[in-house]
Amino acid sequence: MGTADDDAPIFLIGFMASGKTTVGRLLAERLDWTFVDLDKVIEDAAEKTIPEIFAAEGEAGFRKLETATLREVAKRRKIVVATGGGAPCREENIDTMLQAGRVFWLEVSAEEAVQRAGKESGRPLLDDAADPVAAARDLLAARRPFYERAHGHVGTSGSSPKEIVDELLGQSMVIGLVANDEVEPPSGE
């Protein structure tokens, strides 16, 4: 039996290529909740890709759409939301998430993020940088204080998506979010 709070959204935040989408999908599957990719909702509404939105409206235009979309998505229940790397880095946005549900930070280093993202990643902030690793280091340093405000935190280096999901489910139970009966036992047990 869950309380209303048990159904509150789970938000995954963290730097680009920290695995939010892969982990979010898997986590939603385990909970039998809906997975929402915030960037995809923005792209579908704008009928443009993220690089096209950046090209047409600049980063500022993208951030406006991101804030408005997040505000709407946060009203839903039983969803796991993968947010874009910059989404929590506005007071308004991180407040929206912290108030609406539970927020988990998937941590990755700048070097690993750039390596995982690869070239032409579809992420203008990396693709357009002369030195992507330097750009990622600067961005991550500026964003860390926002990421650190998450309710929970998981390091991703050397862990499989399944291991990260298990860790998130464990942390969710500790903070009273997920009712035990909603979680399938890990296979093999």
Q: Verify binding: residue 39, ligand S3P, rule CB under 6 A.
A: yes
Query: How many residues in the shown chain lie near ligand S3P by CB under 6 A?
Result: 10
3-state SS class at 81: strand
CB of 64 to ligand S3P, least distance (A): 13
Q: How far is the CB of 109 from ligand S3P (least distance, A)?
A: 15
Strand order in the sheet with 34-37: 34-37, 79-82, 10-13, 102-107, 152-155
- Of 7-36, binders to ligand S3P (CB under 6 A) are 16, 20
Name which of residues 158 to 187 contact ligand S3P (CB under 6 A): none
Q: How far is the CB of 50 from ligand S3P (least distance, A)?
A: 5
Tell how far CA 88 is from the center of its chain: 9
| 83 DSSP assignment | P
Task: Please choose, from the candidates 74, 82, 120, the residue with its C-alpha nearest in 3D space to the C-alpha of residue 104.
Answer: 82
Run of H or E residues at 126: helix 124-127
**Residue number with CB closer to ligand S3P (7 or 124):** 124
Residue whose entry in the numeric block shows the structure tokens 């280091």: 137
Q: List the x/- string, 111-130, binding to ligand S3P by CB under 6 A.
A: ------------xxx-----
Q: Which residues contribute to the site for ligand S3P (CB under 6 A)?
A: 16, 20, 39, 50, 84-86, 123-125
